[in-house]
Chain A
Amino acid sequence: MKLTPEYASAQESMKPGKITAEGFLGDDDRNIVDIITADEEEFAHLNLDFSEIAKLLRQLLREGAKGLGNVVTFEKWEITVDEARGNIPCPFKDGMFSKRVATIKNLNNSKQIMISDLSVHLLEKHHFLQGKGSIFRLEPSIIKAVLYE
């Protein structure tokens, strides 16, 4: 895959201070195409499906939001959703998302992930799981452990 002008523009918007204080790239020095390619390979290796995972994460966000900021236990997960006012744009310029952040913990193994409406969109539509070191980085192996173990 090539770093097209659209990807280059999105990558620029992902730098610290453009959309969020710390940005989306963490301390990862790869370009976003390399990050996406590597994560797609890892997803295939782990037999994970981007759409299915996005669907499940959205369901967990919905269930967690019912707690109005409190811990909600739903099936094997403990979910806490915090909301701030306002919206945040996707760096790929294809949507705007509420500032809702969920921490999802698997009660079987205590592994957890942090997601937002935007990070689920980035996963589903762009296969972008954010750079290593980003606070919203979704590591494929951790996703699998949290959702499927």
Chain B
Amino acid sequence: MVMIRVLMDPLVIAAISTAFAIIITIVDSIVNNYGDVEIDINNGKKVLKVKGGSPLLQTLASQGIFVASACGGRGTCGACKVKVLSDVGPYLPTEMPHMSSEDISKNVRLACQVKVKSGIKIELPEELFNIKKYKGVVESLKNVTYDIKELRIKLIEPNEISFKAGQYVQIVIPPYGDIKEHTQRAYSISSVPSDKNHVELLIRLVPNGIVTTYVHNYMKEGDEAELVGPFGEFYMRDTNADMVMVAGGSGMAPIKSIIFDMYERNITNRRVWFFFGARSLRDLYYVELFRDLEKKWPNFHFVPALSDPKPEDNWSGEVGLITNVLDKYLDSMIPKDNVKEGYLCGSPGMISGCIQVFNKYNIKDVYFDKF
């Protein structure tokens, strides 16, 4: 009798556990099944029928509408702001750090944090409808410095992209090593818009970075690649102002695209100064490329500066922090006879330092990506 109980008890417990698991699964599917819901975009201009329950960002992406998201939906970049006209509940703590009082007054929300549980009305800029997902193949992957790679992707499906020089794309990388999910991050395009079949990116290795580690240590030529884009408001403004551009590290990417696009399109009447800051010679790259352009375009001036050149660098160019070099040029070397615009791409510290210098010279039209 005791033997039978010893054998039966585990079976009874297993059966009860299984029954509980089935009940939980059924209850979960009922409670969290939101069924089909409608997303009304721009007051009926586009109406999507979707399965409810997922974040708005992913739901829109599943329908081919890609809202910018530099962090891939983790709520850390604050890029996926969308005006929501329906009541979708109070703001989440994850949204608040990204919201200004104006955002809140307009009921702007982070699309990655808002779940689509019922019918919802939203407003989206029309240009978002032109953003696509691209499949391609890694055509080349080269070191341009010890910690920056130039990644060139040949587009396959669709095989052409249309973008403004200076815009960015999000690269989607597959799971690898301990990374169990697809991850995406935003990178500026360094190629020119006329090269419609390719996208070139400059990617600096960030310690412990999920995507940069993949690109530097796992990706290889011939691999499939996935991109979403183009996004961004960083591009050449159509004015006659002189352009003062400053970059550091992989911030070279959008500036390179803008400068070579201008040259290709014969917009060479504008005066352009491009300041590139690096620590020592090993951090400098594309110098010959820009020196060659200077010879062909008299209004273009390239000013690389090293802040900490090594003796073996034999550096005879500008020395100092890029903000100091910029200050020196604006003070005495750049003609003051025309209005100026600032274009910046680099670390947040470099951007805020350059803005201070621009303020000193009353340069108010300053453009940079906020991600």
Contacts and interface: CB of A to CB of B under 8 A. Distances in A.
A in complex with B: yes
B125 interface: no
Contacts of B207: 101, 135
Chain A interface residue bracket vs B: 20 to 34
B263 interface: no
B97 interface: yes
Contact of A16 (B70, B93, B177, B371): B177
Interface in A48-77: 65, 67-71
A23 B279 CA distance: 29
A5 interface: no
Contacts of B353: 68
A1 interface: no
Interface in A100-133: 100-101
B348 A96 contact: no
Contacts of B369: 85
Interface stretch (A27-35, A36-44, A86-94, A139-147): A86-94
B77 A69 contact: no
B308 A71 contact: yes
Contacts of B178: 15-17, 21-23
A98 B323 contact: no
Contacts of A82: 347
A21 B248 contact: no
A83 interface: yes
B179 A21 contact: yes
Contact of A69 (B181, B208, B279, B371): B279
A68 B76 contact: no
Contacts of B328: none
Interface in B305-332: 307-308, 321-323
Given A68-B323, A88-B76, A81 B349 contact: yes
A9 interface: no
Contacts of A98: 348
A85 B209 contact: no
Nearest to A24: B208
B348 A83 contact: yes
A66 to B, nearest CB: 8
Nearest to A94: B93
Contact of A20 (B208, B349, B350): B208
A78 to B, nearest CB: 12
Contacts of B74: 89
Nearest to A17: B179
B243 to A, nearest CB: 22
Given A16-B178, A69-B279, A89-B75, A83 B208 contact: no
B71 interface: yes
Given A70-B308, A71-B308, A89-B76, A17 B349 contact: no
B209 A84 contact: yes
A99 interface: yes
Please give me the 4 A-B residue pairs with the lowest Cβ-Cβ distance, nearest first. A16-B178, A17-B179, A83-B347, A20-B208
11 contacts: A16-B178, A21-B178, A68-B277, A68-B321, A68-B323, A69-B279, A70-B308, A83-B348, A83-B350, A86-B76, A101-B207
Given A85-B348, A101-B207, 10 more contacts: A17-B177, A21-B177, A68-B347, A68-B350, A68-B353, A69-B279, A83-B347, A84-B209, A84-B347, A87-B71
